[in-house]
Amino acid sequence: MPGKPFQSMLLPYEEEIFALLDAGRSFRETAAVLNKAHGLSVTHNAVFSFTKSRRRQRGFRLFYEGLSPDIRDHLLKQVAAVWTHDSTAIEGNTLTLGETLKVLELGLTISGKPLREHQEVYGHARAIDLIYRMLRRPEVTPEDLFDLHRAVMQASAVDALNPVGNWKQANNGTTGVANGKIVYMEYADPLDVPHLMKRWLHEFNRALQAMRRPEDAIHAYVMAHMGFVRIHPFFDGNGRVARLVANIPVLKGGHPPIVVPKERRSDYIDLLWEYQNAVGKINRDSPFVPPHPAVERLIVLLRTEWQHTLAPITAARQREAERHADSAKISPQISQINA
């Protein structure tokens, strides 16, 4: 690139540069590592300008980018297992985290556990792959949501009244307790769902941008999730689809997915019930997420539990940094031997 020779000089080391920075190295330290490991003579200002330019061209950067292939693959498997286990466990799946990992990694059948639970795990893991593919697209479409629904409901029997991969055809709702009384709360009318989901997707896609700050990512997740489950556009599988698609703006911000752990299942479900019962049934032109204290309490819950998902990312970045540090130490020794 004319006037900026360091751009082409640093391009072969792009992933290494981002890995060092993500591991907490300063621009000065990153420049020093590059110069020592690869015989370069770049300044920290050159590294800063290079990363600024590349981030602008890339648009966004996923949480696993910049890692060595083996570290990245291990991290993705770890995140997928936790995400799948906790999301399916919230819906009643009894496979443990260890059993979920065995099913996904080794294709094992866990003795005494129903085939349906194994299929739920496979389906959710496939849905995660679909989410990663959607990140490169400019918007989410109804067909994308139908694909996610087909994935998480892959074990369902064919039923015209309960379609898989299409909007619900019958009314649905949930039962809870309010003021000491059992209350039935209806979700959106099936006839209103196409209109509501057109509106929901319009708002979701309009706000679909890189949420760099963690607080922005959590807020975007909650708004998307709560609006989606108020509608409940499918006959079943709405929670799993909501927890998947609401993570798209989170992932676009370079963050790992927000996962609701099964240990907080009761708190999570209670908050959703409290909110939905308080704001009432959604109609064609209702606001998706009217203000209510339960919204902020769900944000607080997710902010706390997100740390469990962030920990593996930190460990992976640290492992990558240690590997680069060891490589930097070995390179001069090899050069001396070759000399």
- Residue 175's φ and ψ, nearest 5 degrees, are -110, 135
Q: How many CB atoms lie within 10 A of CB 291?
A: 9
CA distances from 8 to 28, 69, 314 (A): 19, 23, 30
**b/e code 223-238 from CB counts within 10 Å (16+ = b):** bbbbbbbbbbbbbbbb
Surface-to-core class of residue 84, CB atoms within 10 Å of its CB (0-12 exposed, 13-18 middle, 19+ buried): buried
147: tokens are 């694909």
The number of angstroms, rounded, from the C-alpha of 32 to the middle of its chain's C-alpha atoms is 34
Single out the catalytic residue among 118, 225, 232, 324: 232
Q: Pick the closest to residue 18 from 45, 41, 52, 69 (CA basis).
A: 52
Residue 232 appears among annotated catalytic residues:
yes
d(CA 228, CA 233): 8
Residues carrying an active site annotation: 232
